[in-house]
Copies of this chain bind each other. A is one copy, B any other.
Amino acid sequence: MTSQPCVVGLDFGTESARGVLIGAADGEILAVHRIVYPHGVMSESLPDGTPLPPDWALQDADDYLHAAGEILRRLSEAAVAAGGHIAGIGIDFTASTVLPVTAQGVPLSRHYPQHPHAYVKLWKHHAAQPWVAEINDTGGEFLAYTGGETSCEWMFAKAAQLRSEAPGLWAESARFMEAGDWLVSELVGAEVRSTCQAGYKAHYLDGAGYPSEVDTLIPGLRERLREPTPIGEPAGELAPAWMDRIGLTRPPVVAVATIDAHAVMPGVGVSTPGTLVATLGTSAGYMLVSPDCRRIPGIGGVVRDGILPGYWGYEAGQAGFGDLLAWFVRTFPSGEDADASFAHYNRAAAALPPGASGVMALDWWNGCRTPLIDPELSGVFVGMTLQTTREELYRALLESLGFGMRRVVDTLTEGGLDVDELVVTSGLAEKNPFIVQLVADVTGRDVRVPDVQEATARGAAIHGAVAAGLVDDFQAGAAALGAQRTRRVLPVDSATVRYTELYGLYRTLSRALVDSDVMPALRRLRGATGRP
């Protein structure tokens, strides 16, 4: 019997890394392994006790090497036990999660373990916010592809903070890299960056490259970057040192890295235009591909080869989704624990017709991402009477999440893109089928819910399969290795009619509150009392 080729998807999340081993012939999961990062997220102090200021979030790059080695070793053993071998590896990673390294790729934290700026700045490191304004103020053409603004979570602001606050470390760094790119480079023994990370987090533009404005803003940054390679391409074969460490005899091909959220699309079996992939978690992420380049106001990411090669990738999101419901249940508990409260509220909400509460919410508890790109916006409930119940407030909050989603869909379609259907992947959807019906009714579109395990790591594995040539392309990879079964939910026309009326009011209410400027003013007055 010959050894069957397998692929590995490595999903580097915020707290841990997960790996899946998949048979390249049938897409079956043969093994899963997870490693929690030994240093986790460092937000209060370094390992030596050095305290960190507010809004910092760091990681130790060596944790990634540790996790990659352990997972690959265990999955290789599993492959052998199943009569196979690892032929391809794909890696997805949080972003923008960045670190300064030497010319040899050594993280500066190995040399300066006592210095906060030597470590990886995790995506949710928000302390670079003060550098955002000067980047936006350039008004550069590059901003037209990210909704007119950069973000404190992205690479430029983080690099600017490092250069400004730790010029010595900046001078010692030869490269500034996304952690996903750095890990891939470590695995293959050569620097290889990704169009996905470069495009979505470092304003890299197809044709134009990194924006020239950066030379004035952050002198020395461009020389610390490199041209990216399109996703799906092989970054190289696994380097001999890793082969020894893991115990492999045949070198697998490692794919160019991708962002974790973007790996989901092939993982759920989607590889063509017209299908909006929605990942509904604590926040909501949306991905769509199109052969056409459209610069759409309010869409924060438009990147060639950013999600699937050969297409323009569009990224949008709601800054809060499941975390709003969790806030509600935490703030107004109605049962013994959160699960009991959710069960109660979900059941009660599902029993109400649309708009029956007379209450409307704006889903901005965590700010608004698409299309307003404004973290200073905040949550709203309007329409309460002395008869209003907390179940009605919960229902209004659910509806507001649907209206926020419809606004994402409308922003994309008004910008000239087609959205024919939605594919929704969410732990929420399993616990609360009402949410899926709400999505269908509010958007007026068919919704498919894929029956899939490990959608993100599976997507990374498809990147590995494409790079290793085990499948012809992402279309073939998504068909063979992505989700095989989906449940289809159709919109109920009468509900769509009613929601459309309510959505008109949601838009009116949004405009009235944004124009009033009350939300940022309340935030300033709160800050003046010494509260965060």
Contacts and interface: CB of A to CB of B under 8 A. Distances in A.
A380 B386 contact: no
A383 B367 CA distance: 10
A355 interface: yes
25 contacts: A320-B386, A324-B386, A332-B390, A354-B529, A355-B526, A355-B528, A356-B531, A358-B522, A358-B523, A365-B385, A378-B384, A379-B381, A379-B385, A379-B388, A380-B383, A382-B519, A382-B522, A387-B532, A502-B525, A505-B521, A505-B522, A505-B525, A508-B517, A511-B516, A512-B515
A77 interface: no
A48 interface: no
A4 interface: no
Interface centre among A365, A386, A498 (most CB of B within 10 A): A386
Interface string A326-370: 010001100000000000000000000111111110000110000
A65 interface: no
Q: How large is the interface on A (under 10, 10 to 19, 20 to 34, 35 or more residues)?
A: 35 or more
A525 B512 contact: no
B509 A518 contact: yes
- Nearest first, the 4 A-B pairs at minimum CB distance are A379-B384, A358-B526, A512-B516, A356-B529
A512 B379 CA distance: 16
A124 to B, nearest CB: 13
A473 interface: no
A138 interface: no
A513 interface: yes
A380 B384 contact: yes
A453 interface: no
Contacts of A320: 386
A88 to B, nearest CB: 40
